[in-house]
Structure 1
């Protein structure tokens, strides 16, 4: 009897250990890129790029039938060896309430950023990532967020994030030391007919402005995204995505009157049925206005993926980004041709 009880205890302990085991995951995305007029200069360079390669650990610990503890910690790694430092990406700990949502705290992407998914940022984690053109692609520290479970309301999801300033100052020099000094929120909807929509807002979030040489300012912004999978309409594998956003600084910035960015993007991806091939196309434009002047970035890009298996794909991209002459660059066009491998594990 004692042996039976001991065997049962060992089996139960082993089962609990398996259930509680964290998941180690990662991605290596390495590309060889030929860039003409790099940074809108006269330079022509050939680069091996790591493209946000990463390593992470995540897990879920069941507490009760309706409550679990969740955690994630992720680092960017230098797949090309240029940087030996592990850079912080998303990391958080929280509680997941079954069929309700997840409350978490730490450092992670804003809900404004995640409103643009793979159907809008189809060249994500390459030199053609939309973060190089658009305001609002931010990951924030010192945040508390809640994400509702879309199943709670038939595909409708609500997400909100509060960032604490912790003694920092805003662009006007005022202290930011309260709860929710910056807020990012979104409402999302996914249907079973292939339609997905998101409306997101950033309020007093420090964001990088590509048109202002990458300088960051506290910003208010609205983003609307959508996509439609035509599989239910008889066009299997065809997905069209779109994005519109508008951004302006939360406070007046010295030297810039009526600063504003308006951006629009349209994407198309076609996974050819019964083949490993996917072809892609993208057009993105961002116009920034200030001091009664308008300047813009316009990007046209095409790409092709070849899936070797569920974890590995080969890809090629060709894109050109045009900048207004008013930016004062040496050249008004930058062209990128790249070949890469994306390996997930």
Structure 2
């Protein structure tokens, strides 16, 4: 009898909960992406094959209408390790803030304006040919991040972030302490209009103390063709500078997309050179099959190559 009463109470409560969720359904979105490849990797010790999850993710985002034309906004996103080799969940972009006619203010852990400025020039993002592999070391996602973004004006938008590192201690590749990192800033100015995108971004003390990074990006879409370029300069505390650049192109033919990318850089490794070729087949607006080949070389006999086929599902 008691079990029946409890069951009836739960049944009575569930519809009201569902009704509340339905009332706010337009403001809350559950989303995700599963990107998995079966690939062969030759990193100098012979080729090995494995299944790899490429920044697959699960998240929720939404907005809450407030007074005076304001709205509260939030995003909570986690990387999901589909192949199950590491921790299943890892924090990605997580923030909360306000948005209105004044622009947008958010706080939390999320991509810096310099990272976001790359737009979609990197056609092999999250794969082995990602620019963070050999072209740049400044695609950062930072904690203690407070960012303001202006409204778009004639296609122009400005973002500025203040990143509180709280004298974070830094370590070298061997785990030895090499000092602390003070607060940093990241700023970008971007123009995006009618298929043409142009951006400039600047980081100060984000990667390390007294390190400055500049990034310039251009992308143009004309019908089935997309071309893009990225240039980056990194200046260290000792005044030395390293440069890197990348070009990319994509061409769509019905459900097929042919992709190519080439770059050189001294930022991650001396005399770094990378190229990638890819082919996508669109199954629907939310699913595709793809294949890629990436080759990387650098000084000190650094020579790696990757070949993979995979699938991407979005919801």
1:117-136 superposed matches below 5 A: 117-118=119-120, 120-133=121-134, 134-136=136-138
Among 231, 250, 259, the alignment partner of 1:269 is 250
1:32 aligns with 2:34: no
1:140 aligns with 2:142: yes
- Contact kept? 1:135, 1:247, Cα under 8 Å: no
For 1:141 and 1:218, locate their aligned partners in 2 and report how far apart those are by CA, in whole Å: 19
Report the counterpart of residue 88 of structure 1 in structure 2: 91
Report the counterpart of residue 166 of structure 1 in structure 2: 166
Report the counterpart of residue 217 of structure 2 in structure 1: 225
CA RMSD of aligned residues (A): 2.3
- The structure 1 segments of at least 4 consecutive aligned residues displaced by more than 6 Å after TM superposition are none
SS of the aligned residue for 2:309 comes to: strand
Report the counterpart of residue 304 of structure 2 in structure 1: 334
Shift of 1:190: 1.0
Report the TM-score when normalising by structure 2: 0.86
1:237 aligns with 2:224: yes
Alignment deviations for residues 110-137 of structure 1 (CA, whole Å, 9 cap, x no partner): 111111121x110011111111111211
Moved more, 294-303 or 132-141: 294-303
1:287 aligns with 2:266: yes
- Contact kept? 1:58, 1:72, Cα under 8 Å: yes
- Contact kept? 1:259, 1:288, Cα under 8 Å: no
1:69 aligns with 2:72: yes
- Contact kept? 1:267, 1:283, Cα under 8 Å: yes
Report the counterpart of residue 112 of structure 2 in structure 1: 110
Aligned pair in 2 of structure 1 residues 265, 20: CA closer, same or farther (>3 Å)? same
Aligned pair in 2 of structure 1 residues 155, 169: CA closer, same or farther (>3 Å)? same
Moved more, 15-24 or 61-70: 15-24
1:181-196 superposed matches below 5 A: 181-192=183-194, 194-196=195-197
1:260 aligns with 2:241: yes
SS of the aligned residue for 1:117 comes to: coil
Report the counterpart of residue 200 of structure 1 in structure 2: 201
Shift of 1:261: 1.6
Alignment deviations for residues 173-206 of structure 1 (CA, whole Å, 9 cap, x no partner): 4673xxxx200010000122x2110000000112
Aligned pair in 2 of structure 1 residues 284, 66: CA closer, same or farther (>3 Å)? same
Report the counterpart of residue 257 of structure 2 in structure 1: 278
SS of the aligned residue for 1:122 comes to: coil
Report the counterpart of residue 52 of structure 2 in structure 1: 49
Moved more, 313-322 or 161-170: 161-170
Give unpaired runs (5+ residues) of structure 1. Answer: 1-9, 208-216, 231-235, 253-257
- Contact kept? 1:112, 1:200, Cα under 8 Å: yes
Shift of 1:172: 7.2
- Contact kept? 1:20, 1:61, Cα under 8 Å: no
Alignment deviations for residues 49-105 of structure 1 (CA, whole Å, 9 cap, x no partner): 10111111111001136210000011111111112341110000000013x311000
For 2:124 and 2:306, locate their aligned partners in 1 and report how far apart those are by CA, in whole Å: 12
SS of the aligned residue for 2:147 comes to: strand
Report the TM-score when normalising by structure 1: 0.79
Shift of 1:295: 2.2
